[in-house]
Amino acid sequence: MPKIRIGLIGYGGIGRVHAAAYRAIPFHYGLPADSISITGVATTREETARRAADEIGCEFYTDDYWALLARGDIDAVDICTPNNSHHEIVLAAAEAGVHVYCEKPLAMNVAEAADMARAVDAAGVKAQMTFNFRFFPAVARARQLMDEGYVGRVFSFRGRYHRSSYISSDKPMSWRLDRAITGGGALFDLGAHVLDLLFFVLGDFAAVNGTLDTLIRERPVAAGSAEKAPVEVDDIALLHARLADGALGTVEVSRMGTGATNDLSFEIFGDQGAIRWDLSEPAWLQVYDARTSDSPLGGERGFQRIEAASRYPGQRAPDWTMSPDFMRAHAECQYQFIRAIWDDRPTSPSFAEGLHVQRIMDAAERSSEQGGWVELA
């Protein structure tokens, strides 16, 4: 396999996770240490870029991502910057003919996302979304069971992503609260993940009826400051959603879920069975088979837990019995991107899939503004 040399753009909270996960991949799959490396890193300031390079162990750092692209020895860029820069960087990477791995949400809006999907297709580069939560074996098993018709006709579904990260009114403004940088609030930040999970397991969305709200409408401009600025993005988004196949469900997204540290889950109810998964028990997929006998005294009826655990095909370490976690799922998402390059096969989740999620979020925002059901554009 040719060595994959990555240019990492952005080294904040998630850039550091990506860097650590690339380093772990060779250990998970028994690959030479240098089969995947980070060649250089770009941030907004030379000082932070230098510190990032020290941590990563790469020589090249810059405050201008164009300099990274201009090196000519980068196979792929990994975009870990705030949402308003994704479009510009993807177009630059496509122009430079390098593959692209991009954090969620794909873009600020549908028009940008569609433009990005077109640009990477036209350039013939591989492009993949970071929808890392798909990459728990239990979630992959849920998708397999849905493909096999395990639950039968889907009656309804439910997705939830609650965090408590913004419950303090003292928490100051940041780029995540600035619509010009983030594009949307909790819906874009957390909703992108749970909507992708539901899309991955259940299929295309058709229409949304949603309400978004901002629960703390002004915040300090900086930590400890008495000066306040208005918050123009949602803290909470509650959606009804209709899938293309007609199934109806609900999606709850909030960063004001007091006590909810990182509560992501989905449930699917069908006429033959049910499936549910919860990030707090990532190793297990819960399934209910309504075809089993409920007699005598309940027979064998009831939810059972499938030990999906760490059954990543081909994994050398750790062994399959260990629980997967956030970092492992990120590493797998990255590994599948790299495999798509090595094997010259389509990426998944592709930018087209990122665009679909963007369309769901856009329909939710329009529904909240105008009221009633809104079909995906």
Site residues, ligand NAD (CB under 6 A): 9-15, 42-44, 48, 65, 80-83, 85, 103-104, 130, 132, 175, 189
CB of 54 to ligand NAD, least distance (A): 14
Name the H helices within the chain: 13-29, 46-56, 65-70, 86-96, 110-123, 137-147, 179-182, 186, 192-202, 326-343, 351-370
Q: Does residue 231 sit in helix, strand or coil?
A: coil
Going by C-beta distance under 8 Å and a sequence separation of 6 or more, which residues neighbour residue 269? 151, 154, 155, 156, 157
CB of 299 to ligand NAD, least distance (A): 41
Nearest residue (CB) to ligand NAD, 234 versus 287: 234
Nearest residue (CB) to ligand NAD, 13 versus 224: 13
Pairwise CA distance, residues 125 & 129, whole Å? 13
CB of 335 to ligand NAD, least distance (A): 15
Pairwise CA distance, residues 36 & 23, whole Å? 7
Nearest residue (CB) to ligand NAD, 43 versus 315: 43
DSSP state of 135: G
Nearest residue (CB) to ligand NAD, 80 versus 201: 80
CB of 43 to ligand NAD, least distance (A): 4
Does residue 235 contact residue 215 with C-beta atoms inside 8 Å?
yes
Nearest residue (CB) to ligand NAD, 85 versus 211: 85
Q: Residue 208's closest CA among 140, 159, 275, 280? A: 159
CB of 48 to ligand NAD, least distance (A): 6
Nearest residue (CB) to ligand NAD, 175 versus 303: 175
Nearest residue (CB) to ligand NAD, 13 versus 372: 13
Pairwise CA distance, residues 365 & 237, whole Å? 9
Residue 72 burial (CB < 10 Å; 0-12/13-18/19+)? exposed
CB of 322 to ligand NAD, least distance (A): 20
CB of 171 to ligand NAD, least distance (A): 14
Prior bond to 318 cis, omega within 30?
A: yes
Prior bond to 349 cis, omega within 30?
A: yes
Pairwise CA distance, residues 348 & 140, whole Å? 12
Nearest residue (CB) to ligand NAD, 130 versus 310: 130
> Which residues are bridge partners to 299 per DSSP?
none
CB of 184 to ligand NAD, least distance (A): 10
